[in-house]
Amino acid sequence: MKVFKQQHWHLLFLIALLYGLIIIMQYDKHILDGQLWGISTFYWFIIAIAAPILHQIYVLVCWRLELHYKSLTKTFGDKAFPLYKAGFSILFASRLISIILLAISNQQTADISPLFSYILSAALLIPAIYLFYSVKKYFGMDRAYGLDHFNPEKVKSMPFVDKGIFRFTSNAMYTFGFFLLWIPGVLWQSEAALFAALFNHLYIWVHYYFTELVDIREIYG
């Protein structure tokens, strides 16, 4: 089934990343110290790891069903892309929100000075803001959501973007956008949140190589 093309690699790398996290947690159980609203850091950590997995599976299924079978359009008509974007936005926001809550639950567990945490947070925030500016001004928000899976002919006629932050790399969204997820762990000096951010940043590249890149070759030839 075309929906699952190359997804055995996705699953393999996901298992490897999760196993790596388990090893880290077993090595230092203090990483999961703390609680928020009576809920232990362990459960906030599970939520923070589940959020990107659910988000990327959602994108995979929606993209592939629409690209190969037009399933969403057949079901929802003109509302297919807006509905997909709504689900995408909610799940993407859950990645950041879950890490913020995890960082608060697990604060003061990483050996980072307050001054350095502010400086590093600003350094991470600047390229992330520039990325979102560049996406909005040059790349287009709909294109960033994955419009090429819903209307490939339209997107294929659009020019290659090499302005703004895209001057430095064609894959600025995954390179710089995920800096945003590191900020809560740095600001609240949370070890668990930093590992959750690392998982997010590594796992998005699994999505790129085994979902998005495969689809790019299918769409653009």
- The answer to whether the CB of 107 falls within 8 A of the CB of 188 is yes
Rounded Cα gap, residues 12 and 180, in angstroms: 26
List the chain pLDDT tens, one digit each, 221 residues.
789 999 999 999 999 999 999 999 998 888 999 999 999 999 999 999 999 999 999 999 999 999 999 999 999 999 999 999 999 999 999 999 999 999 999 999 999 999 999 999 999 999 999 999 999 999 999 999 999 999 988 888 888 888 899 998 888 999 999 999 999 999 999 999 999 999 999 999 999 999 999 999 988 87
The whole-model pTM stands at 0.94
Residues with Cβ within 8 Å of 167's Cβ and at least 6 positions away in sequence, in order, are none
Which amino acid, one-letter code, is at 175? T
- The answer to whether the CB of 38 falls within 8 A of the CB of 125 is no
- Name the residue ranges covered by the structural domains of the chain: 2-220
- The answer to whether the CB of 31 falls within 8 A of the CB of 25 is yes
Rounded Cα gap, residues 174 and 208, in angstroms: 8
- The answer to whether the CB of 103 falls within 8 A of the CB of 184 is yes
